[in-house]
Amino acid sequence: MTEPSATFGYQDVDPAAKPSLVRGVFDRVAGRYDLMNDLMSAGVHRLWKDAMASRLNLQPGETVIDCAGGTGDMARLYAKMARRAQQRRGGLDAKVVVVDYNAEMIAAGRQRGSEPEIVWAVGDAQGLPLPDACADAYSIAFGIRNVTEVAKALAEARRVLKPGGRFLCLEFSRPVTEALQKAYDSYSFNVIPRIGELVAKDRASYQYLVESIRRFPDQRTFAALIEDAGFRRVGYTNYSAGVAALHHGWAI
């Protein structure tokens, strides 16, 4: 019988080993994580995240779980959006619960400052330290490909959402044309690890990054996994011609 394995970049590893391997990557890059994101994408990741925040549209009194939220980019966008809505219409404060497996990433996020709506916690996407049906929305941006078992993380997202809750996942995906895929591959494998080596002093972590993107399911395959987890009205929107995709579904 074949032993179970998990992906770590292009390697197949013991599932029990993957969490510590991924933790090591983010321990090393936490201090330069946001800077590296800006450099690697020429700032385009911020446009993708703005679009995700607008789609989630957090309202006063709602709770959103920002899973793999690390340094808090998405959490701050959600908090700002909910505060503006509250100023227009009144209502209760919104709550943004940032959960990340890596304590160094949480620490880096807290060092940047925190809005009153944000709560920070260290926790596993595959076993969230939260009760059933506690959130109106769940989001995860560029984090789900790092979990050991994607199906478990999706099941946890479904568990913590209230009936009618909304699920959003922003992740790197597959460019829609072969020519773009070739250009993207050339940039990813030749430029990104080099930037990591020069700026973050860590080529290996960014080599893992580009390899993990290539091994993550394409848009349709991942949408099917979301449906298998119990979500309905599942769909996705490609950004930058499929370099990234925003997947969405409803807990109904």
The stretches in the chain having pLDDT less than 50 are: 1
Question: CB under 8 Å to 212, separation ≥6 — which residues?
Answer: 7, 8, 9, 145, 146
Tell me what pLDDT residue 34 has. Answer: 85
**Is 97 a member of any domain?**
yes
Q: Is residue 209 part of a domain?
A: yes
Residue at 3 is within a domain:
no
Residue 75: half-sphere exposure toward Cβ, Cα within 13 Å: 27
Angle of helix 203-215 versus helix 178-190 axis, rounded to 10: 160
Q: What distance in Å separates the CA atoms of residue 29 and residue 105, rounded to the nearest whole number? A: 9
Decide if 178 is inside a domain.
yes
Q: What is the pLDDT of residue 36?
A: 86
Model pLDDT, residue 1:
45
DSSP classification of residue 63: E
40, part of any domain: yes
Say if strands 11-13 and 95-100 run parallel, antiparallel, or are unpaired.
unpaired
Q: Is residue 10 part of a domain?
A: no
Residue with tokens 């709560």: 119
Q: What is the pTM of this model?
A: 0.93
Give the pLDDT of residue 203. Answer: 94
Any domain includes 11: no
Q: Tell whether 61 is covered by a domain.
A: yes
CATH of the domain at 108: 3.40.50.150
pLDDT at 3: 59
136 three-class SS? strand
Domain of 81 in residue numbering reads as 23-251
Q: Which pair of tokens denotes residue 32? A: 């330069």
pLDDT in tens, 121-139: 999 999 999 999 999 999 9
Q: How many structural domains does the chain have?
A: 1
Nearest CA to 115 out of 75, 165, 62, 155 is that of 75
Which one, of 98, 196, 93, lies nearest residue 141 by Cα? 98
* 218-244 per-position pLDDT tens digit: 999 999 999 999 999 999 999 999 999
Helices (H), the chain: 18-29, 33-41, 44-56, 73-89, 103-111, 150-160, 178-190, 192-195, 203-215, 219-228
- Separation of first and last alpha carbons in the chain: 38
